[in-house]
Chain A
Amino acid sequence: MFRERIIVDDSLAVTPDGYELAVRLPWYRALPVSAIEQLEVTLDGARAPDDAITFEVNGRARTLAEARGDWDDVWYVLDDALVRVAAPAPGPAGGTHELQVVLGVRIPYLPVAGKPLLMTERCTKTMPAKETAA
């Protein structure tokens, strides 16, 4: 659902440690943060290792592994998650890059034979990198 909205247009920015981007929830309602079971980020063909990625929801940045226990924190459906990737500098601001994000989301009320459904969505976009103040 809404896979083309996962990567927020023109949200890619160069940071001192790598890069960051804004990500939307590809679902119609808020979900627990622990519902995010898969988050892959690839920039210009280079996939970031899981432990190099954090995502910030409700003002708290966390890795995918840390998010596993955050079942009582909620990612609201209208909020951006700020995804930060520690990586070699992607080049100067202004350059154009291809970004791909794969988001695997557990749908907590759709158990099929006792196991909630996992929905995986992929989004690929090309955009220039901004300079960030962070």
Chain B
Amino acid sequence: MSLPKLGVTLYSFTPYFHARQYTFEDLVRIAGERDLGPGLEIVGFQSIKGFPRLPDGFAARFRTLVDAAGLELSCLGANADAGLRQDRLLTEDELVEYMLAQLEAAHELGFPTVRVQHSVTPDLMERLLPHAERLDLRLGMEIHSPHSVGHPKIQALLERYERLGSPHLGFIPDWGASLTRLPPSLLRAYRAKGVPDALLTAFRDQWNAFHTEPLIMDDREQGARFRRMREINEQYGGDDVSVRIGTNSVGLFGHMDPADWKQIMPWVVHVHAKFYDIDADGAEPSAPHDILLRDLVEAGYEGYISTEWEGWHWNDTDDPFEMVAAQHRLSERVFASLATS
């Protein structure tokens, strides 16, 4: 049985990096020392000052560092900043140029895959394809909450991929798009901050209600859901701290059926194993790893699964290194059970 490769994105360690507790170089070294690889993913605009411009000699020093850590480059997180300007969105030509600079940086750094985001339309993806071929890169459109495999934007891309038939184009599932419940640590953390139980319950009930509704097919529906959560916050006397429970719930936690990733599996070029909690049994209570990993393995996926711990948005007590290690142990257990079943 062939298996996917594990790995990590340094985004998981954002609280340490932002606090200047560990440098970028520290985090690469520690990811190696703690065996959180082999795949290494970074967000360009986080890890590298001046990105996508690279300082002289940076790429060579970076590859030496990665080799010394025993890691392999998996994916560079690029950003499709269509809202770069305050006065208007970027034009298509401007966005292509903006993405191209990041593709060039990915190539210079030695990454095989680049994560792109949904402001890049099928037409723009097609315009970037010759550059991906020239730079030997795979472009992976991230499928992130509130999107899902059936969303019109994703379906339009899928149609284009099928027509173009290029191995340089694909998708990056983000498991946050297919949660089965709110992360328990979210409610615990805000309860500890003094948010009343009635408000926590109202947020949870509303997320559960969204969970029974049809998936978002028009991005304006997400705006309506943000407004609904703000109304609940006001109704229960919440403040600008508690409102984050509601906005996080709409922005981060999608409602897709985890088994539906199968529909795009042949086009998966990389995976964001987004997760939030590890419970007392070592399982992830809201992202069912048994299903998510089983379907990747059964499809014969042999690329990287980049572990992305995002619980730090509210959880400042658990150690991000430990959380990623625990998610890797869970993944290895699921792989082992698949091998014997």
Contacts and interface: CB of A to CB of B under 8 A. Distances in A.
A106 B89 CA distance: 12
Contacts, number: 84
Contacts of B79: 29, 108-109
B191 interface: no
A51 to B, nearest CB: 18
A68 interface: yes
A74 B50 contact: yes
A116 B80 CA distance: 12
Describe B's contact surface by its main secondary structure: loop
Residue with the greatest number of chain B CB neighbours at <10 A, chosen from A1, A5, A35, A106: A1
Nearest to B240: A122
Given A109-B119, A113-B220, A2 B82 contact: no
Given A28-B11, A78-B20, A109 B80 contact: yes
B45 A68 contact: no
B313 interface: yes
Interface residues of A, number: 34
Contacts of B15: 2
A29 B83 contact: no
A49 B82 CA distance: 31
A112 B14 contact: no
A13 B119 CA distance: 42
Contact of A37 (B18, B50, B86): B86
A111 interface: yes
A5 B220 contact: no
A2 B312 CA distance: 10
B49 A76 contact: yes
A30 B45 contact: yes
A107 B83 contact: yes
A29 B43 CA distance: 8
B19 interface: yes
B81 A77 contact: no
Nearest to B46: A29
Residue with the greatest number of chain B CB neighbours at <10 A, chosen from A5, A37, A113, A122: A113
Contacts of A35: 86
A113 B87 CA distance: 16
A34 interface: yes
B84 A34 contact: yes
